[in-house]
Structure 1
């Protein structure tokens, strides 16, 4: 996770998005309690993590003062780290990060 301040004094955070909001999935299946909550997480998370190591793309989330500003999708751990650094450098230099 990288935190930088832009030329206007606003704080930006750039990080990989490690997990997704699954409330729509759990609600449609009867709620978290019906799925076993922690059990679902214990089973699904390792599969999700290994899938990223085998080529599933990482989502890079860019937050501006705590609010999600935009996301980028990058394939590979190293490439996502380099892209995060590039986005943070652009933000701190006052260049529109795109």
Structure 2
């Protein structure tokens, strides 16, 4: 998954959204205590549904491409197909990198004192 920093030090990450509630399956490995058994029983339906989800994705259900800025989601797009979603991820990364380079050109404008607006 592409992750990079722009000229302002902001971390961007672009990825496909994975299967929802995947964290619930991780909780199923919390040991053999009563809590671990309960968590496993709650995660069991998700384990059974996973092959159905995968088959749906292979049959054309769109992937969600998520763009995050410093860990906060800023955009989500649906793209049909694994390869098409990979191309879209690369396009978004290129757009964000180009915008970061473009910001360097206007850096002096952001650092003005603000008195220029009063001249009008």
| TM bucket normalised to smaller | 0.7 to 0.9
Contact map agreement 1:7 1:92 (CA 8 A) in 2:
no
Rg (Cα) greater in structure: 2
- Tell me how far 1:21 sits from its aligned partner: 4.9
The alignment covers a number of residue pairs equal to 85
Matched, 1:4 2:9: no
TM-score by length of 1: 0.76
Taking the TM superposition and a 5 Å limit, the aligned residue runs for 1:1-98 are: 1-21=1-21, 36-94=41-99
Q: Bigger relative contact order, structure 1 or 2, given CA contacts below 8 A and separation 6+?
A: 1
Q: CA RMSD in A?
A: 2.1
Contact map agreement 1:15 1:60 (CA 8 A) in 2:
yes
Gap runs ≥5 in structure 1:
23-32
TM-score by length of 2: 0.63
Deviations 1:51-79 (A, max 9, x none): 01100000001110011111011000000
Contact map agreement 1:63 1:70 (CA 8 A) in 2:
yes
